[in-house]
Amino acid sequence: MDANPVLFQGAPPSLSAKYEGSFAYLTIRDRLPTILTKVIDTIHRNKNKFFEEYGEEGVQAEKRAISFLSKLRNELQTDKRVLPLTDGQEDAETWNSYLQYQQSHQGELSPVSWFSSPWLYVECYMYRRIQEALWLNPPVNEFDVFWEGKSQSFLDSTAAITALCTHMELVRRGLTHSSDSHTLDQLFKLLQVSLWGNKCDLSISAGQENSQKGSPLDSLDSLRAFVLVNHSKQVWSVLAAARGDGQGQRSPGRVDIVLDNAGFELVTDLVLADFLIAAGLATEIRFHGKSFPWFVSDVTARDFEWTILQTSAANHKWMSACGVQWKRYLKEGVWSYHDHAFWTLPHDFGDMASSAPDLYASLRSARLLLFKGDLNYRKLVGDRDWPHTTPFHLALRGFHPAPLCSLRTLKANVQVGLEAGQGEELSTATSTWMTSGSYGVIQFCSSDREQ
Ligand SMILES: O=P(O)(O)OC[C@@]1(O)O[C@H](CO)[C@@H](O)[C@@H]1O
Ligand SMILES: [Mn+2]
C-alpha cells in the first residue's frame, strides 16, 4: 500500500492540537490520556485471568504491556516525537512511511509530535500503538482491551434492542403488501435510528457507560430538529430507482455499510441492513469493520459475530427471530463481513484510491455506501477546518467511488454542507453543537458530483 497521501490543493489546514484550547487540543490533553489509563487499568484487572490462562508467562507479559502503555501515555502527555512502530506487523511499514511523509511535510524544524501534528493522525496512531503494546507481548497479544466496554454496552441496551427487533419483525410482516410510501417511511425511520445509534460511542465518553436506554423509535420526532442535513430522499431515490418498477431490467444492488461502534449502534445497522433486504431495496449487504480494536468501541469481527450470536440466542422471541434471520443472511452470502487494513490506517479517504486501490475498486461496485459515525466523517472530509458552507462533494476531495451517505452525530469540530448562516445560528444557540453528539447529519453525495 502506498503510504503517501494525495496532496489536495486548496484544502484548509488540518484540525490539530497545535491550536491551544481547540477540541483537538482538549481531546489530546485530556481524553486520550484518560482512555489510555482505562486501558492500563483493564489489563491490570485481568492479571489473574492471564495467570490462570498462561501461568507466570502471562503475568510477565501483562507487566510488559502495562510498561509499554505507561511509556506511551508519558510520550503523549509530554508532547514527545511520534515514534516508528516496531512490531513488524503487515501494516507497520505503511504506518512508518506515513510518519516519514508527515515529517517531510512538517519540515525538520517541527518534529512530528502529539500536539504539533494533525489530530486525525495522532489519534489513529495512539490506537495502533495500543495494539503494538499487545502484539509485542504474547501471550496477551490477542487480548481486546475494549471488549468489556463493548459487550457491556450491548447488554445495557437490551430493552432498546428488544424494542427495535420487535419493530423490525412487525415491519417484516407488513412488507409483502406495503406501498412505496410506507416503505419509504420505514426507510426514513431506520436511517434516523441508525444515525442516533451513533451517540453510543465509548470514545467520546472516554470509556464511560454510553448505552441506549429507551426505545429508539419513540424519540425520532423529538430529535428531528437536531438533524442538520437530511438527504434521506436522495438515499430512497438511489435505492428505489435501482429496484426498478418491476418492468425494467434494473435490479436492486449491493449496499456497503462502513460500520462504526459495536453495542447498540451495531444493532441499529443490522436492523437497517435487514430492512433493505426484506424491502427489496438491496440484494446484498457488505459490512466493513476494523481488523483490530479501534477507537474504544469500533466493531471487530469478534464483536460482529458475538452480537449476532447474542441476538439469535436471546430469550425474547422477536429479538431471537431477528438474530436467526441475520445468521441466515450470512450463511446464504446475502450479508458478508470484511475488515480491510485500510480502515485502521492513518489515511483519510481522499487517499484510498492511491493507498488501497483494491478497496476503492470494490466500493465502486456498490449501489450505495453508508458511512457510520464521526471518525468516518472526519476521514471523508480529511479532518480539515472547512467553512461550514463548503459543498460536501468538494470536501470529499475526489473520493467518489459510488453514491454515498454519511450517518453521523457530530463529535468533532468539522461540518460541511450547511446552509449560509446555519453554523452561525447554531453557535449562537449552543457553543458545543459540533462536539456534543446532540446533532447529526444524513448527508448524501452522488458519485457523479451533481451535489
Ligand atoms: O466515530 P465515532 O465512534 O462516532 O466517534 C469517534 C470520535 O468521535 O471519538 C472522538 C470524540 O471526539 C473523536 O476523536 C472521534 O471522531
Ligand atoms: Mn467509533
Q: How many CA atoms lie within 13 A of 361 on its CB side?
A: 5
* CA-204 nearest atom, ligand 1: 11
Q: Which residues have a Cβ under 8 Å from the Cβ of 331 and sit 6 or more positions away?
A: none
Return the pLDDT at 3.
53
Question: Is 207 near ligand 1, meaning CB less than 6 Å away?
Answer: no
Return the pLDDT at 177.
82
Can you list the domains of the chain with their CATH numbers? Answer: 23-135 (1.20.930.60), 147-445 (3.40.50.10880)
Q: Each residue of 186-217: pLDDT tens digit? A: 999 999 999 999 987 777 777 777 777 778 89
Quick one: how far is CA 337 from the chain centroid?
Answer: 15
Return the pLDDT at 108.
85
Distances (CA, A) of 188 to 81, 216, 230: 47, 13, 10
Residue 412 Cα to ligand 1 midpoint, Å, equals: 7
Q: Quick one: cell of 156?
A: 445495557
Quick one: how far is CA 53 from the chain centroid?
Answer: 32
Whether a cis peptide bond, with omega within 30° of 0, leads into 13 is no
Question: Is 210 near ligand 1, meaning CB less than 6 Å away?
Answer: no
Question: Is 204 near ligand 1, meaning CB less than 6 Å away?
Answer: yes
Q: Each residue of 12-28: pLDDT tens digit? A: 999 999 999 999 999 99
> How would you class 30 by CB atoms within 10 Å of its CB: exposed for 0-12, middle for 13-18, buried for 19 or more?
exposed
The residue whose CA is least distant from atom 5 of ligand 1 is: 374
Return the pLDDT at 433.
98
Q: What percentage of the chain reaches a pLDDT higher than 70?
A: 96
Q: Which of 295, 376, 438 best tests ligand 1's pocket when mutated (most atoms within 8 Å of CB)?
A: 295
Mean pLDDT, the chain, integer: 94
Gap between the Cα atoms of 180 and 394, Å rounded = 33
Q: Each residue of 138-189: pLDDT tens digit? A: 999 999 999 999 999 999 999 999 999 999 999 999 988 888 999 999 999 9
The closest ligand to the CA of 35 turns out to be 1
Residue 69 Cα to ligand 1 midpoint, Å, equals: 21
The closest ligand to the CA of 196 turns out to be 1
- The yes-or-no verdict on residue 380 having pLDDT over 70 is yes
**Once rounded to an integer, what is the mean pLDDT over residues 271-277?**
98
Q: Which of 374, 379, 406, 439 best tests ligand 1's pocket when mutated (most atoms within 8 Å of CB)?
A: 374
Return the pLDDT at 207.
75
Gap between the Cα atoms of 146 and 36, Å rounded = 11
Question: Is 383 near ligand 1, meaning CB less than 6 Å away?
Answer: no
- The yes-or-no verdict on residue 245 having pLDDT over 60 is no
Return the pLDDT at 422.
98
Gap between the Cα atoms of 223 and 101, Å rounded = 43
Q: Which helix (H) or strand (E) holds 368?
A: strand 368-372
Give the pLDDT band (50/70/90) at residue 450: very low
Return the pLDDT at 50.
98
Helix/strand/coil percentages in the chain, nearest 5 = 50, 10, 40
**Once rounded to an integer, what is the mean pLDDT over residues 287-311?**
98
Question: Is 374 near ligand 1, meaning CB less than 6 Å away?
Answer: yes
Question: Is 261 near ligand 1, meaning CB less than 6 Å away?
Answer: yes
Q: Each residue of 47-101: pLDDT tens digit? A: 999 999 999 999 999 999 999 999 999 999 999 999 999 999 999 999 999 999 9
CA torsion sign for 394, 397, 400, 406 is: negative
* CA-295 nearest atom, ligand 1: 6
- The yes-or-no verdict on residue 6 having pLDDT over 90 is no
ipTM: 0.96
Residue scoring higher pLDDT (241 or 102): 102
* CA-408 nearest atom, ligand 1: 4
Return the pLDDT at 211.
74
Helices (H) and strands (E) in the chain, counts: 19, 7
Return the pLDDT at 32.
98
Question: Is 406 near ligand 1, meaning CB less than 6 Å away?
Answer: no
Q: Quick one: cell of 327?
A: 445468521
Return the pLDDT at 244.
63
Residue 376 Cα to ligand 2 midpoint, Å, equals: 8
- Asked if residue 95 lies in contact with residue 292, where contact means CB atoms within 8 angstroms, the answer is no
The residue whose CA is least distant from atom 3 of ligand 1 is: 201
Question: Is 124 near ligand 1, meaning CB less than 6 Å away?
Answer: no
In DSSP terms, which residues pair with 229 in a beta bridge? 441
The pTM of the full predicted model, rounded to 2 decimals, is 0.96
Other CB atoms within 10 A of residue 377 CB: 27
